[in-house]
């Protein structure tokens, strides 16, 4: 083992290299930091980057063997940690350090945590009672009309309400915000509004439509016995029937069957209706209750496939059978079924796509942003629908990009309209703020507390957002950069410096697109590195995408989800998506975060007493 003096010399040399690297980075960032209160945080970030450019494993081991810091938890206070370890080495060598020097070093170590807390307060509001991490929840469309549901979200522990500008419109957003503000006021607590700009999300375009068809499917247990019937509405409003609003709360979530008004008016709770479905099978519906002038709630105990014109018979208590037929149903877009080895045209033509009629040719689907096809090269990978389907560019021509499917389930996968496209090998240049984003930003700057910046990729993107906010009189608005591309990961330090120097700022680890972009095997590694870098920069982190996804959908969490939620407490905020059991997910996450607060702070395990 090295002597103490040799270790001390190694540490002194390391500190000198860190300070030199820190100075070089701060010089490069000088323009962004001019007249900015973020300069002290940027100085620590620069020191951390210079520090982590070194391979420190040997020094770590030698320091640990001496009972000193392994340097593994210095993110928030890099130079101060190096100084503290140097003082401890001096003491081992017999040199006396003055009390004032020791106190100064201790204060410097604490400043990092205090600055992170201050920056988190500015962006995410007050820390909740008994847990450190805030809970952000994505609002469904129904939150615009269901005030009781919004109150439940707030009462269960929602600290930040997220509105996705890729969905709905300004009137719906305004109603959502009004409900959140009212619910928070009634509960006597704070709940901030976070609005995500849609950004240049690359998606599949429209598909040819087919006549509407509706399936009513009861819930069954593992033995096949009916656990809950399929509920639906007989609808005499004159609107086409359809599957209901996905993720909606209350009646808006029920499928609807269009029927004649005079036929509906004769229905009574307890009556039976016989239906003949598309397969010629007879099915019985139970009429349950009237839910409005033009709607009756009913249910089916068996699976039913229905389309326009299917026969309905009202089996009334008077013995009369009044006939009717299913009215118009919303047309449904066609879906392309693809298998490994199929060829698919990702088309420049915006006309609705359709299935292929050539063996081995899955068909054609438009690219909603056809200009990106100019950036593709033969051999590059393409992922569809959050990576569920994989493909490779085989040929490029005036029609578009011809893809060969390389990954799909054995039974095939369906490609539908508006599904995400990822091009991890391609250098695609699209503005982070499009025309729709700028229009939406007018509303966001007036009504929201935080703006989420989707698909940010560079420091210039952060400067552009800051300029646009200042032009709208909202220069002090919080902004969260969503990191979801390879280019954003590569430019992360500059994104942080340019973002945090212009106002309250945070990072979102957007794990959905990010996993597809960088590869599933690297996600855990990059996720950790982003947490470390953010702590060094003293900026808060939002842990997002698929947290408690199974719990939210079916009310039964997986074991992996429980571990993921516990790890998420190291972030300053955790995002939950919408779904039928989101209230259960909020309660579960709140409980886990309260427990983990006593055991973990960022990277550091806290030694709370164990009761075994």
Q: Are residues 9 and 108 in the same domain?
A: yes
Q: How far apart (Å, rounded) are the C-alpha atoms in residues 234 and 218?
A: 17
Give the model's pLDDT for residue 161: 97
Q: Note whether 340 and 271 are same-domain residues.
A: no
Do the domain assignments include residue 124? Answer: no
Domain co-membership, 321 together with 360: no
Residues 442-460, mean pLDDT to the nearest whole number: 95
Beta bridge partners of 287: 298
- 261: Cα within 13 Å, side-chain hemisphere: 6
Token reading at 177: 């915000």
Inside any domain, residue 205:
no
Q: Which domain holds residue 339?
A: 333-422
Query: Is 320's pLDDT higher than 70?
Result: no
**Is 286 within the bounds of a domain?**
yes
In a domain, 38, yes or no: yes
The token duo for 226 is 């009916």
305 belongs to a structural domain:
yes
- Judged against a pLDDT cut of 90, whether residue 107 lies above it is answered with no
DSSP-assigned states of every residue in 217-282? --EE-TTS-EEE-EEEEEE-SSSPBBS--TT--GGGGS-EEE--HHHHHT--TT-EEEEE-TTS-E
Asked whether residue 322 falls in the same domain as residue 370, the answer is no
Q: What is the structure's pLDDT at 529?
A: 93
Closest CA to 490 of 512, 521, 459: 459
- The reply to whether 139 and 98 lie within a common domain is no
Note the pLDDT of residue 146.
87
Three-state SS at 175? helix
Q: Please give the average per-residue pLDDT across 231-243, as a whole number.
A: 90
Over the stretch 128-139, which tens digit does the pLDDT of each residue have?
Answer: 988 999 999 999
pLDDT of residue 357: 52
Q: Which of 505, 550, 526 is nearest to 37 (CA)?
A: 505
**Does position 318 have pLDDT exceeding 70, yes or no?**
no
CATH number reported for the structural domain that contains residue 252 in this entry: 2.40.33
Is there a single domain that holds both residue 589 and residue 449?
yes
CATH number of the domain that 550 lies in? 3.20.20.60
Q: Is residue 337 part of a domain?
A: yes
Measured on CA atoms in the order 600, 601, 606, 608, is the torsion positive or negative?
A: negative
pLDDT band at 105 (very low <50, low <70, confident <90, very high): low
CB atoms within 10 A of CB 26: 17
Q: Do 96 and 61 have their domain in common?
A: yes
Name the β-bridge partners of 541. 507
- 125 φψ region: left (φ > 0), alpha (ψ -120 to 50), beta (else): left
> Could you read off the pLDDT of 413-446 as tens digits, one per residue?
999 998 999 999 998 888 889 999 999 999 999 9
Q: Residues 524, 529, 535, 540: is their CA dihedral positive or negative?
A: negative
| Of 319-323, 464-468, 528-532, the least confident | 319-323
Does position 1 have pLDDT exceeding 60, yes or no? Answer: no
- Assess contact for 130 and 124: CB atoms under 8 A: no
Residues 17 and 96 in one domain: yes
Report which DSSP code applies to 579.
-
Does the pLDDT of residue 115 top 70, yes or no? Answer: yes
Residue 583: closest CA among 152, 101, 73, 62: 152
Asked whether residue 536 is domain-assigned, the answer is: yes
Which tens digit of pLDDT belongs to each residue from 40-78?
999 999 999 999 999 988 888 888 878 887 788 889 999
Confidence of residue 96 (pLDDT cuts 50, 70, 90): low
Other C-beta atoms closer than 10 Å to the C-beta of 302 total 16
Q: Which helix (DSSP H) or strand (DSSP E) does residue 287 occupy?
A: strand 282-292
Mean pLDDT over 533-553 rounds to: 92
Arithmetic mean of pLDDT, 400-424: 93
**Model pLDDT, residue 5:** 85
**Please, which pLDDT band fits residue 192 given cuts at 50, 70 and 90?**
very high
Asked if the model's pLDDT at residue 251 lies above 80, the reply is: no
Residues 274, 258 contacting (CB under 8 angstroms): no
Asked if residue 255 belongs to a domain, the reply is: yes
Count structural domains, the chain: 4
pLDDT level of residue 465 (50, 70, 90 thresholds):
very high
What's the pLDDT at 92? 79
Domain end, chosen from 276, 303, 330, is at 330
Distance CA 508, CA 28 (A): 25
| 321 and 338 together in one domain | no
Other beta carbons within 10 Å of 246? 10
| pLDDT score at 319 | 57
Reading the block at residue 599, the tokens are 């055991």
Closest among 249, 70, 217, 71 to 149, alpha carbons compared: 249
300 plus 269 within the same structural domain: yes
Kindly state whether residues 383 and 367 are assigned to the same domain: yes
Domain boundary (306, 330, 354) is at 330
Grade residue 290 by pLDDT with cuts at 50, 70 and 90: very high
Query: Would the pLDDT of 576 be above 60?
Result: yes
Is residue 379 within 8 A of residue 398, CB to CB? The reply is no
Query: What pLDDT does residue 100 have?
Result: 58
My answer on whether 162 and 149 are in the same domain is yes
Point out the domain boundary residue: 330, 365, 386: 330
pLDDT band at 360 (very low <50, low <70, confident <90, very high): low
Packing angle, helices 520-537 and 492-500, rounded to 10: 40
């Amino acid at each position: 083992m090295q002597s103490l003096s040799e270790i001390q010399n190694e540490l002194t040399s390391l500190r000198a290299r860190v300070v030199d690297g820190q100075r070089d980075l701060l010089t490069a960032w000088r323009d962004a930091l001019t007249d900015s209160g973020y300069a002290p945080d940027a100085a620590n970030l620069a020191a951390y980057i210079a520090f982590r450019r070194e391979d420190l494993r040997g020094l770590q081991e030698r320091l640990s063997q001496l009972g000193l810091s392994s340097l593994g938890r210095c993110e928030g206070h890099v130079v101060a940690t190096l100084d503290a370890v140097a003082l401890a080495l001096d003491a081992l060598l017999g040199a006396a350090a003055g009390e004032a020097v020791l106190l100064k070093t201790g204060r410097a170590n604490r400043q990092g945590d205090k600055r992170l807390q201050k920056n988190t307060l500015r962006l995410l509001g007050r820390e909740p009672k008994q847990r450190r991490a805030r809970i952000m929840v994505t609002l469904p469309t129904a939150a615009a009309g269901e005030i009781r549901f919004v109150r439940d979200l707030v009462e269960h522990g929602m600290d930040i309400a997220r509105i996705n500008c890729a969905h709905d419109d300004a009137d719906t957003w305004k109603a959502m915000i009004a409900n959140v503000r009212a619910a928070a006021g009634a509960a006597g607590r704070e709940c901030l509004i976070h609005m995500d700009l849609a950004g240049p999300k690359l998606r599949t375009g429209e598909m040819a439509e087919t006549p509407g068809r509706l399936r009513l499917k009861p819930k069954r247990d593992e033995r096949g016995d009916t656990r809950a019937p399929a509920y639906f509405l007989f609808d005499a409003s004159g609107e086409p029937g359809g599957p209901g609003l996905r993720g909606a709360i209350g009646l808006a979530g029920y499928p609807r069957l269009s029927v004649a008004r005079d036929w509906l008016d004769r229905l009574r709770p307890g009556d039976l209706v016989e239906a003949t479905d598309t397969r010629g099978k007879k099915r019985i519906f139970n009429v349950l209750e009237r839910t409005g002038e033009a709607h009756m709630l009913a249910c089916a105990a068996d699976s039913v496939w229905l389309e326009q014109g299917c026969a309905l018979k009202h089996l009334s208590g008077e013995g009369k059978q009044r006939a009717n037929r299913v009215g118009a149903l919303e047309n449904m877009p066609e879906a392309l079924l693809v298998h490994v080895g199929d060829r698919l045209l990702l088309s420049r033509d915006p006309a609705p796509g359709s299935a292929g009629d050539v063996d081995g040719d899955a068909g054609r689907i438009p690219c909603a942003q056809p200009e990106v096809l100019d950036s593709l090269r033969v051999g590059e990978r393409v992922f569809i629908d959050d990576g569920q389907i994989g493909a490779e560019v085989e040929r490029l021509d005036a029609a578009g990009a011809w893809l060969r499917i390389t990954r799909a389930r054995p039974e095939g996968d369906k490609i539908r309209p508006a599904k995400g496209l990822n091009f991890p090998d391609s250098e695609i240049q699209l503005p982070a703020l499009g025309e729709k984003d700028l229009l939406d930003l007018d509303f966001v700057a007036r009504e929201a507390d935080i703006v989420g910046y989707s698909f940010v990729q560079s420091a210039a993107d952060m400067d552009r957002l800051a300029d646009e906010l200042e032009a709208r009189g909202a220069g002090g608005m919080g902004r969260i950069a969503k990191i979801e591309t390879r280019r954003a990961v590569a430019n992360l330090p500059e994104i942080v410096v340019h973002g945090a120097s212009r106002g309250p700022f945070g990072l979102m680890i957007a794990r959905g697109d990010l996993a597809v972009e960088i590869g599933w095997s690297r996600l855990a590694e990059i996720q950790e590195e982003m947490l470390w870098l953010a702590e060094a920069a003293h900026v808060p982190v939002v842990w997002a995408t698929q947290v408690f996804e199974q719990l939210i959908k079916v009310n039964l969490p997986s074991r992996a989800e429980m571990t993921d939620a516990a790890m998420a407490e190291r972030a300053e905020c955790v995002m939950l998506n919408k779904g039928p059991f989101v209230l259960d997910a909020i309660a579960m996450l709140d409980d886990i975060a309260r427990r983990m607060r006593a055991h973990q702070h960022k990277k550091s395990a806290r030694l709370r007493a164990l009761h075994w």
